[in-house]
Chain A
Amino acid sequence: MHEFAITQSILNIVLDEAKAAQASKIYRINLVIGELSGVVSDSVQFYFDFLKKDNAAEGATIDFKQVPAELRCRDCSTSFNPKDSLWACPACQSSSVEVVSGRHCYVESIEVE
């Protein structure tokens, strides 16, 4: 599990942005988590509650926006969201697929005062 390091990285990003905007308090972090990013929101929440003490994010909540994995079949071009994490094409059962989206995890925006 590397969610501790990831949460630290999220915190660094939001504190950096808040400082640049001369904001003293962050009250909301809008985080986008792709299904294939490997980031587990419950773990991020757990570490965030621990790490946010004594800084501008202390009163902040995280809004997790989950982006489903989207794959495309290389054989028949069908785009699909994998069910039960199985990467086979639902139309032709091919396992020749590529990732279209769901790979990234990023801080979309922060709300500050």
Chain B
Amino acid sequence: MKIEVLRDITSANDAIAAQNRQILDKHNILTLNIMSSPGAGKTSLILQTIDRLKDELRLAVIEGDVASKIDADKIDKEGIPVVQINTGAACSLEAQMITPALNKLPLENIDLLFVENVGNLICPAEFALGEHKKVVISSIPEGDDKPTKYPLMFTEADAVIINKLDLLAHLEFDVTSFRKAIEGLNPKVKIFEVSCKTGAGIDAWCSWISTEARNERPPQKG
């Protein structure tokens, strides 16, 4: 006997992501899923953002890493609530890892939550976590070919950060063609050119977040 199933393999993850989203919406917490290769500057961007926005918004961070709590310790030093998730062998955060982390955060007192994903340009694109926006960081030393090599990640992004702009003078990186490639894949994407080292461009990025945090968020589909 043949039984029609038609169930997506990510359906279990998506259902949990939708529950996470409900919790976040109930507490009116704008949540950003931060993705990039290892070393592109996810933690640095979060630290810079904390520095600029901590008086305006109440922030919290969920850190995802294969191992260690190095990043969580950096956030903790800033006096910001942080939960570290160690994924072990897993190459990406999944929705079911976020739920217990949310339970450990003071949700009543948070306006903006960063979820720093595992450094990887492939797998994190596959798993919704319940976030409102996906942010992809690409840094100058990685080269300007990343949208061509990893198109899916850039297709999914709401915002793309080009980080380490201070290194532009020393490396071959064509910002115009990089921007063109991303806008080709994803015409609605917001692109920010920043340097977490010098602070250049961080204001524009923070102003985008402030606006998004203030805007009413549409209820999730489905």
List residues of chain A with CB under 8 Å of any chain B CB.
1-2, 4-6, 9-10, 12-14, 17-18, 21, 23, 36-39, 74, 86-87, 94-99, 104-113
The CA of A38 and the CA of B181, in the complex, are separated in Å by 21
Selected from B3, B7, B9, the residue in CB contact (under 8 A) with A39 is: B9
Selected from A6, A87, A94, the residue in CB contact (under 8 A) with B9 is: A6
Q: Shortest Cβ distance from A45 into chain B, in angstroms? A: 14
The CA of A42 and the CA of B149, in the complex, are separated in Å by 22
Known: A2-B92, A36-B152, A38-B125. A106 touches B181 (CB 8 A): no
Known: A13-B9, A95-B184, A95-B185. A109 touches B91 (CB 8 A): no
* Contact yes or no, B184 A106, CB < 8 A: no
Q: Shortest Cβ distance from B71 into chain A, in angstroms? A: 21
Known: A2-B90, A12-B12, A95-B180. A112 touches B122 (CB 8 A): no
Chain B 74-110 interface mask (CB, 8 Å, partner A; 1/0): 0000000000000001111010000000000000000
> Which 6 residue pairs across A and B have the least CB separation, nearest first?
A96-B184, A95-B184, A107-B5, A106-B8, A105-B9, A13-B7
The CA of A37 and the CA of B1, in the complex, are separated in Å by 28
Known: A2-B126, A36-B152. A87 touches B5 (CB 8 A): no
Q: Shortest Cβ distance from A84 into chain B, in angstroms? A: 11
Q: Shortest Cβ distance from B144 into chain A, in angstroms? A: 13
Number of A-B contacts (CB under 8 A): 92
Q: In the assembled complex, which residues on chain A have CB atoms less than 8 Å from the CB atom of B122? A: 38
* Contact yes or no, B123 A2, CB < 8 A: yes
Interface of B is mostly: mixed
Q: In the assembled complex, which residues on chain B have CB atoms less than 8 Å from the CB atom of A110? A: 2-3, 5
Q: Shortest Cβ distance from A59 into chain B, in angstroms? A: 15
Q: In the assembled complex, which residues on chain B have CB atoms less than 8 Å from the CB atom of A105? A: 8-10
* Contact yes or no, A2 B9, CB < 8 A: no
* Contact yes or no, A109 B5, CB < 8 A: yes
* Contact yes or no, B180 A109, CB < 8 A: no
Most chain A CB atoms below 10 A, which of B13, B92, B151, B187: B151
Q: Shortest Cβ distance from B13 into chain A, in angstroms? A: 8
B148 on interface, CB distance cutoff 8 Å = yes
Most chain A CB atoms below 10 A, which of B2, B122, B184: B184
